[in-house]
Amino acid sequence: MSEEATKITTRNLIDADIGPLRRFTGLLDSFTTEPQTFGEGVSARQSTRITLNFSDLEVLETIEPYHFPIFTVSMTMSNRKKSRWGVYGESLNSILDSQYTEEQLNPTSPEYIKPQERMDISDCLKKRMGLVMADGEAGRPESPMLFDGRTNADRPTPTWMVYEVEGVGVAGGGVSARDIAESLLNGRTLADFNKAALANPIIRNDTALLQAISMPATAAGSFANVLVKAGRFTKDAQGVYQKVGD
């Protein structure tokens, strides 16, 4: 068998328009739109495709090695909630709205803030965001039921959801397991951090995070190593980790 033939595999298949990542955080650098056309002739219809560009990537879950510092997420824009853009937007809005009071979200209150006047995706530029693929695998959110024009029916459709926005909040409110882990790492040696992290119930419930914490310190996917390589933490001669900027 030739060398070229041995490199051919059916074991690295990915879903179209999704890519290999399944959970990551990254800075929302920019987003662009472009027109697209479906169909031909009198049945042709116009739509807009949006591309979200992320940098300073921290890969948390992937189905194949991914060593690039950037990643793009593309989908067709729609004002329908039952669409990929709708699911993405609703997940983002739920986090952004968590910063407002009940009165500010209540249409009957004099303090009510209209949706178009609240924080939006353009206000998230240069902020670190956390995205997860809703595919129902490995503890990730279930795929939403979205309309499939090919079958003319709803079907489970893997799509991106936002679970965290820097400086705003995380899905479900409160502090994320990763936030807690970073706080515990700050000012500790790896041994002390591991002991504190494994004793935390929120961290113990995050399987992917636990695996990253349990890796050898020199492993590429090690929790502490990833943060140091990303420039978010430093490690001094005594092996103590410090968060950059603190």
With cut-offs at 50, 70 and 90, classify the pLDDT of residue 127. Answer: very high
Co-location of 41 and 122 in the same domain: yes
Domain end among 150, 170, 190: 170
What is the total count of domains within the chain?
Answer: 2
Co-location of 51 and 135 in the same domain: yes
Radius of gyration of the chain from its Cα atoms, rounded to whole angstroms: 21
pTM of the full predicted structure?
A: 0.65
| 58 is a domain residue | yes
Query: Is residue 76 a contact partner of residue 52, using CB atoms and an 8 Å limit?
Result: no
Per the model's pLDDT, the better-predicted residue between 180 and 116 turns out to be 116
Co-location of 121 and 60 in the same domain: yes
Domain end among 170, 190, 207: 170
Residue partners of 182: CB distance under 8 A and separation at least 6: 227, 232, 233, 243
Q: pLDDT tens across 171-217, in order?
A: 655 567 788 889 899 999 999 999 888 877 667 767 778 888 988 88
Residues 182, 76: Cα–Cα separation, whole Å: 35
With cut-offs at 50, 70 and 90, classify the pLDDT of residue 79. Answer: confident
| 199 is a domain residue | yes
| 97 is a domain residue | yes
Residues 133, 110: Cα–Cα separation, whole Å: 38
Query: Which residue segment(s) compose the domain that 54 sits in?
Result: 16-170
| 122 is a domain residue | yes
Query: Is residue 58 a contact partner of residue 226, using CB atoms and an 8 Å limit?
Result: yes
Co-location of 22 and 115 in the same domain: yes
| 2 is a domain residue | no
Co-location of 33 and 148 in the same domain: yes
| 68 is a domain residue | yes
Co-location of 118 and 224 in the same domain: no
**Angle between the N-to-C axes of helices 207-214 and 177-185, in degrees from 0 to 180, rounded to the nearest 10:** 20
Residues 190, 219: Cα–Cα separation, whole Å: 13
Domain end among 147, 170, 193: 170
Average pLDDT score over the chain:
85
Q: pLDDT tens across 129-184, in order?
A: 999 999 988 778 888 999 877 777 888 999 999 988 888 876 655 567 788 889 89
| 40 is a domain residue | yes
pLDDT at 123 over 60: yes
Residues 26, 80: Cα–Cα separation, whole Å: 26
